[in-house]
Chains A and B, each alone.
Chain A
């Protein structure tokens, strides 16, 4: 157990492990995205209320789910980084932020594209779900801006971590916003006992949610590797790795 934990604190080990997992996560994600998207666009029956517009759910819900998951990953990594002073955890948090921001943007944009034909408006300023999701985008951007404004990496790690942890409140608000306040936004789809989706509609959605998560994992690992290299640039293993890749085996390194 100790040894296991110790290995996870070793940047070199994590760099290698992330490099091994990345292509698998990426490959599975691509296969899943093809299957899930095909299922959502072609196989799933037309919704009797929303007609074909409901199919936006197959990209909107996974995006929204990942916008929150990425934030939770960032916040948990920040807690670990602050409490156990584990630098690697901060590297995870940094890597998750830009990916999370892009999923938040997607959730807002696809929501807007869904809102126009269904509610008659692209955007509603008074809506709690939309406002909390927009705030999430600002949390990500604020986190990245705060970090880049601090020269010293350790201070940037700590300040960023505090901001990330405080922002978890907003993720809770996003989740319950459709229950606590009246919202244009419809309620839960996946875990709703009153309105059960038929399997042909639900399965592609679940496949896409899993695929988006795998894709997020692949992206996170890729960014984490870059971050680890930069942070450990004076370590002997990084110098050796960089030199090896300079000696003509660049292609090997990229996939190693």
Chain B
């Protein structure tokens, strides 16, 4: 088991690469989900507000 984690001395590089990759993959998913929720929320607010500005004026969500 210890041998497996040691990665023949390259542990920092191997685990660093895998850790970073999965962190970025998860972040990607999180940002995409959050963007969709933010878009819906923004459009919802714009639809429900009684004195809402015309939809075309509302600026786009970035990210």
Question: Which A residues contact B (CB, under 8 angstroms)?
Answer: 26, 33, 37, 41-42, 46, 51-53, 55-56, 58-60, 63, 98-99, 102, 105-106, 109-110, 113-114, 116-117, 148, 215, 218-219, 222-223, 225-226, 229-230, 233-234, 238-239, 242-243, 245-246, 250, 253-254
Contact = CB atoms under 8 A, between A and B. Distances in A.
A56 B17 contact: yes
B13 A233 contact: no
20 contacts: A51-B8, A52-B7, A52-B9, A99-B28, A102-B28, A106-B20, A113-B13, A117-B10, A215-B25, A215-B28, A222-B29, A222-B33, A225-B36, A229-B36, A229-B39, A229-B40, A230-B60, A243-B48, A254-B33, A254-B40
B14 A55 contact: yes
Interface string B48-63: 1000000110101111
Contacts, number: 112
Contacts of B60: 230
A51 B20 contact: no
B47 A148 contact: no
A219 B13 contact: no
B21 A63 contact: yes
A55 to B, nearest CB: 5
A79 B14 CA distance: 39
Given A52-B7, A253-B40, A254-B36, 13 more contacts: A37-B18, A46-B8, A53-B8, A55-B14, A109-B20, A219-B29, A223-B35, A226-B32, A229-B39, A230-B60, A238-B43, A242-B40, A243-B48
B9 A51 contact: yes
Contacts of A58: 18
Interface residues of B, number: 37
A51 B10 contact: yes
B30 to A, nearest CB: 11
Contact of B37 (A53, A238, A242, A254): A254
Interface of B: 4, 7-10, 13-14, 16-18, 20-21, 24-25, 27-29, 31-33, 35-37, 39-40, 43-44, 46-48, 55-56, 58, 60-63
Nearest to A58: B18
Contacts of B61: 226, 230
Given A99-B28, A243-B47, A110 B20 contact: yes
Given A98-B63, A222-B36, A239-B47, A56 B20 contact: no
